[in-house]
Amino acid sequence: MRERIAMLDCARGMAILGILLMNITAFGLPKAAYLNPAFMGAPSLADAWTWAVMDMVAQVKFLTLFALLFGAGLQMLIPRGGRWIRSRLLWLMAFGLIHGIFFWDGDILLDYGLVGLLCLGAIRHDLPPGRLIGAGIALYAIGLGILLLMQAMLADAPPGRFWLPGVADRIYEYYWQTTGGPEAWAIRLDLLQASLMSLAAQYGWLLAGAMLIGAGLMRSGWLAGKRSPAHYRRMAAWLIPLGLLINLPSVVAQWQSGWAYHWCAFLLQIPRELGAPFQAIGYVALCYGFWPAIGGLRAAGWVGNVGRMALSNYLLQTLLCTLVFNQFGLFLSFGRAGLLLLVPPVWLANILFSALWLRFFKQGPMEWVWRRLTRLTGGAAMPAAG
């Protein structure tokens, strides 16, 4: 049991650290830069290659990995009872609202809490793992289909400021990002509303699908580490290259088109979304397959500590990055390649913070608050594994 939990913690830590590879762009550049490296015209060669590599190995992959593990976590919490889990998810949504309005507009906590609530009913049913995974695949396919529909409906419209912002748009975003206060809060509230509309229209289907797949993989024992290391290594050897091969033509096509809105805003996002679950599951398989060799290493323990304090570390990344880019006024000061150099120091802060905190406490500070609030509104619950 300890080994299984350690593997899950390590995978969760990988997800939290990996998410920063893409979030660093959202922290340091306008929102349009997240998907469009040509948001200010042709990018430098270094920035273009940074985009390409990150698109292949990180973009969507680690968010999908985190969604899979989130669904697995819901499956593991089933013994605690529906009221307790619903309370836990509602508090996560509350954290997301506070985070998204007062700190950073790239919040995912609200989305995960809301979609987790919607998925909980299916996960609580005693469905065979295959049916749960099949339902997740169906929901994910609907999300991809909606993206294709959006290509047909919206691709011929002029690109808006969220794809190609003008000079005035960039100046204003720099202003409210670095000034903060009520004006920034109001803008983040508007962005949060737009994010929820996107969640309802398309992204929520992908997120729900990934959560159900993760729950099914946990129920089958696969995410619980109950297969042989050789099995996991074979899965990694197949799934990671498959995801890369699916994504590669899209990366080449986007670069060759100059990241033109007509093709890149919707249609050429589909291969990345399609390949992401294969790569995400492949990353878990890689970790599990080599766990007998790496499980005793300090590095695995450090990453596992980050995973044990996933919520605290996710919010710590926001505090550190908004301090650098918003409070110190370094927003829009770096290109994509330069921003990537800032990721290792934040990773180091996550690792050191987790290692030091867990020397004295059993769980992270936000995890402790989250559990206390859940007990307050959800009542007592029987302990659940993991």
Assign 3-class secondary structure to the chain.
CHHHHHHHHHHHHHHHHHHHHHHHHHHHCCHHHHCCCCECECCCHHHHHHHHHHHHHCCCHHHHHHHHHHHHHHHHHHHHCHHHHHHHHHHHHHHHHHHHHHCCCCCCHHHHHHHHHHHHHHHHCCCCHHHHHHHHHHHHHHHHHHHHHHHHHHCCCCCCCCCCCCHHHHHHHHHHHHHCHHHHHHHHHHHHHHHHHHHHHHHHHHHHHHHHHHHHHHHCCCCCCCCCHHHHHHHHHHHHHHHHHHHHHHHHHHHHCCCCHHHHCCHHHHHHHHHHHHHHHHHHHHHHHCHHHHCCCHHHHHHHHHHHCHHHHHHHHHHHHHHHHHHCCCCCCCCHHHHHCCHHHHHHHHHHHHHHHHHHCCCCHHHHHHHHHHHHHHCCCCCCCC
Q: How many domains does the chain divide into?
A: 1
Q: Is residue 383 part of a domain?
A: no
Q: Is residue 222 part of a domain?
A: yes
Q: Is residue 385 part of a domain?
A: no
Query: Which position has the token pair 């962005």?
Result: 191
Q: Is residue 116 part of a domain?
A: yes
pTM comes to 0.94
pLDDT at residue 380 in the model? 66
Residues 332 and 341: their CA atoms lie apart, in Å, by: 15
Domain residues for the domain of 171 are 2-378
Q: Is residue 196 part of a domain?
A: yes
pLDDT at residue 382 in the model? 53
Q: Is residue 386 part of a domain?
A: no
Q: What is the mean pLDDT of each run of 10 residues along the chain (386 residues)?
A: 71 97 96 94 96 97 97 94 95 97 96 96 92 97 97 92 94 95 96 94 97 97 95 98 98 97 96 98 97 94 97 98 96 96 98 97 96 89 48
Q: Is residue 26 part of a domain?
A: yes
Residues 41 and 48: their CA atoms lie apart, in Å, by: 12
Q: Is residue 324 part of a domain?
A: yes
